Structure 1
Amino acid sequence: MAGVVERVGFDVEELAPGDEGFGYIRKDTIQFGANAEHVSAHVRMVARRPAGLSWEQAAGVPLAGLTACQPIKRVAVRAGETVLVHAAAGGVGSLGVQTAVALGARVIGTAAARNHDFVRKLGAEPVTYGPGLGDRVARLAPEGIDAALVFVGADAVDTSPRLLGRPDGLASIAAPEAAEQGPARHSPPGPGDGRPGLPWGYTGSGPGALATLIGRLVDRLPPGRRSRPCPHLWRQG
């Protein structure tokens, strides 16, 4: 969700009425949601809206963005590395691409041919998924890849290990069997569950964690691309 703070609790110091905020409202009981004119949230779930994001983009970023960044953190993507992102044109994958690019990585992204131009705009080199994917990636990266981020099902997990240059470079949000591929990591979808090692210290409890996470992405994007951190918008009704 994204909106303007109307009221705060008596001991809230991080935000004040009139502040523009966004966040992921995660409560102990899944109830009511955020599709409303007014919503309540614990202060740890809300951060200031970055100036580079529209209201629609800010509302769309937290769940998909935090989901994308979990595996990026877990495989420790670094500048200069080559990263393969599966489902690069999807809601989660497109944010994963931009985050990895912002960290200085070279990104190869799988997508249908009709989405290749979109993937290029995100800063990645597109490659068509399907039979022969491993060979196509190997031609683009003959020295191998350093990390593979799987935002789609098991087929992508099966393709990735032989391309990897390091055994701990595979992470998936969609296929638990990734954990069976040696030291690979499985990161369930969502913004985190309080365990250590989540994106840039985000544990679901620290005020400002969302601002830190998204701020790093927005600040590192070239000015001409800051309008695209969240590429898709669906309207209800």
Structure 2
Amino acid sequence: MRAIVFNQFGGPEVLHETSVDLPVPGPGQVRVRVAAAGVNALDGKIRSGVLEQVFPTALPAVPGRELSGTVDALGEGVTTVAVGDEVLGWADTGSYAEFALSSQFAVKPSGLSFEQAAALPVAVEAAERVLRLLDVKKDETLLVHGAAGAVGTIAVQFTVSRGARVIGTAGADNQAYLTSLGATPTVYGEGLVDRVRALAPDGVDAVLDLAGQGALPDSVELRGSADRIVTTADFRAQQFGVVFAAPPEERSAERLAEAARHAAEGTLTTTVGRVYPLASAPQAQRDSDSGHARGKLVVTVG
């Protein structure tokens, strides 16, 4: 089968398309004919080798942690789906490929495109996980750095639905987008502390850093301490006494199914910022590495 592979760590240029063996599903797994694969910041960090001590990677490797597509084969014990069913979920093998294995998946609603479906698994899980850590309550104010990205898009909506206020940072081009999600937008960069204080004179109750662009010092200053600050992107978290939210081993297929249903019904916005063919996966990761993408970047297969 066709797949994107990297044989060494480095920049996006180490990614190339080649032929690899077709994966065989084990107990509890399905093999999915991939229609779309989500592109995540973590993909680029693993490819670069910067996370090798945290996520050891056997080379050559196929990147990709989430997918949507059609069930092609069933492993032993799988009874919740049948061959031919359309699904979305987390990939056990790299999803930048024609086929991938998954043991955590949900049936894709018919009203959801494959591209929209591939934008959900990582973003939904990450948003729910960090909001649990921050315990944001009704009438509180949450500051989100990198609010226009894939996880930010979902986290903003989840927070607003709880009756809390969100101040979201993003580039100038994404200010109106954040407003459409229900956030109060502001630009990042120099003067951020003063801008946030002007928007929230009583202070912010919690901070979520999804950008990893050096926002932790400002976040600690705004909070007055490292309390209730979580980052998913800045590996200097310990230096500032901030919680780093690492991806979990277990994920909820039931919650993913619920989020997919809301997305199909239009009550949860999932934004696909750009779609790339499989051969353009290096460019997709290059754009993801820049940290300025709106919504989700998706690679399509086939």
Determine if the alignment matches structure 1 residue 137 to structure 2 residue 137. Answer: no
Q: Distance in 2 between matches of 1:14 and 1:4?
A: 14
Show the counterpart of 1:160: 219
Change (3 A) 1:167 1:52: farther
Q: Distance in 2 between matches of 1:89 and 1:61?
A: 15
Q: Is the 8 A contact 1:57 1:230 kept in 2?
A: yes
- Structure 1 residue 15, shift from structure 2 partner: 2.0
Q: The residue matched to 2:214 in structure 1 has which SS?
A: helix
Residue identity opposite 2:274 in structure 1:
L
Show the counterpart of 1:200: none
Which of 130, 150, 171 aligns to 2:230? It is: 171
Residue identity opposite 1:215 in structure 2:
E
Please, what TM-score do these two structures have when normalized by structure 1? 0.76
Q: Distance in 1 between matches of 2:260 and 2:71?
A: 24
Q: Is the 8 A contact 1:79 1:103 kept in 2?
A: yes
Determine if the alignment matches structure 1 residue 210 to structure 2 residue 253. Answer: yes
Show the counterpart of 1:6: 72
Pairs aligned (count): 212
Change (3 A) 1:229 1:159: same
5+ residue gaps, structure 2: 1-66, 280-302
Q: Is the 8 A contact 1:178 1:185 kept in 2?
A: yes
Q: The residue matched to 1:7 in structure 2 has which SS?
A: strand
Residue identity opposite 1:210 in structure 2:
A
Higher strand share: 2
Q: Distance in 2 between matches of 1:106 and 1:94?
A: 14
Q: Is the 8 A contact 1:71 1:185 kept in 2?
A: no
Q: Distance in 1 between matches of 2:91 and 2:266?
A: 30
Residue identity opposite 1:41 in structure 2:
S
Q: Percent identity?
A: 37
Q: Is the 8 A contact 1:69 1:96 kept in 2?
A: yes
Q: Distance in 1 between matches of 2:152 and 2:85?
A: 30
Q: Is the 8 A contact 1:83 1:108 kept in 2?
A: yes
Determine if the alignment matches structure 1 residue 185 to structure 2 residue 228. Answer: no
5+ residue gaps, structure 1: 28-32, 195-202
Superposed CA offset, 1:39-83 (max 9, x none): 3322xx212224663210111222333334332221122232211
Change (3 A) 1:141 1:53: farther
Q: Is the 8 A contact 1:78 1:105 kept in 2?
A: yes
Q: Distance in 2 between matches of 1:214 and 1:139?
A: 39
Show the counterpart of 2:167: 108
Change (3 A) 1:186 1:62: same
- Structure 1 residue 109, shift from structure 2 partner: 0.4
Q: More displaced, 158-167 or 147-156?
A: 158-167
Q: Is the 8 A contact 1:88 1:109 kept in 2?
A: yes
Which of 70, 93, 97 aligns to 2:129? It is: 70
Show the counterpart of 1:56: 115
Residue identity opposite 1:34 in structure 2:
S
Show the counterpart of 1:35: 96
Please, what TM-score do these two structures have when normalized by structure 2? 0.61
Q: Distance in 2 between matches of 1:114 and 1:224?
A: 24
RMSD over aligned CA atoms reads 2.7
Residue identity opposite 2:244 in structure 1:
H
Superposed CA offset, 1:25-47 (max 9, x none): 135xxxxx2234433322xx212
Superposed CA offset, 1:111-150 (max 9, x none): 1122101111121110111111111111111111111000
